Amino acid sequence: MSSDTTPVRQTVSDFLVRVKKGRDELPDDLALFGDGLALDSLEAAELSVVLEDAYGRDPFSAGGELPQTVGDVLAFYEAAPTP
């Protein structure tokens, strides 16, 4: 994992604590939905807002497939690092 993704992982972690779904670890393969973090649609919307505020764009609004895992979120920013 590149060091550029560390702030993103921390942002996701902070968000999860706020919505009372915090975890000690956030492995890349942890699912955002379903049996993983079990984000509902509005929590996912809120996460997209948090990421957009922090980094100017977010993987939920990018028009492609929705990210399914924590790793997908990190990969979005790794693929085209935020300036």
Partner 1 sequence: MIELLRAAAEEAPHRVALASAAGVTTYAELVARAETAAAELRSRGVRRLAVLDPDHATVWALLAACSLAGVESCVYPVAATDETVAELRERLGHDVLVTPRDLPAPGLLRPDELWAGTDRDTGPVPDGPRPLLVLTSGTTSGRPQAARHDWSRILRVTLRIRPTPEQRWLLAYAPNQFAGLQMLLHVAAARATLAAGTTFQPRDGLEAMRRFGVTHASGTPTFWRFLLAELRTEGEPAPPLEQVTLGGEAVPSAVVDALRRTFPRAHLSQLYAATEMGLSISVRDGEVGLPLSVLEATDGEAEFRIVDGELWVRSRSSMLGYHDDEPVPEDGWRASGDLVEVVGDRIQFRGRATEVINVGGVKVHPLPIEERVARVPGVALAHAHGRPNALVGQVVALDVVLADGVDAAAVDTAIREEFADDPAAHRPRSITFVETLDVQGGKLVRGRTP
The footprint of partner 1 (CB under 8 A) covers 18, 40-42, 44-46, 48-49, 53, 60-61, 63, 66
Q: Which is nearer to partner 1, 18 or 27 (CB)?
A: 18
Distance CA 77, CA 8 (A): 8
Asked if residues 60 and 66 have their Cβ atoms less than 8 Å apart, the reply is yes
Q: Which is nearer to partner 1, 3 or 41 (CB)?
A: 41
Please identify which residue in the block is written with the tokens 């973090």.
37
Minimum distance of partner 1 from residue 81's CB (angstroms): 21
Distance CA 31, CA 2 (A): 20
Minimum distance of partner 1 from residue 55's CB (angstroms): 15
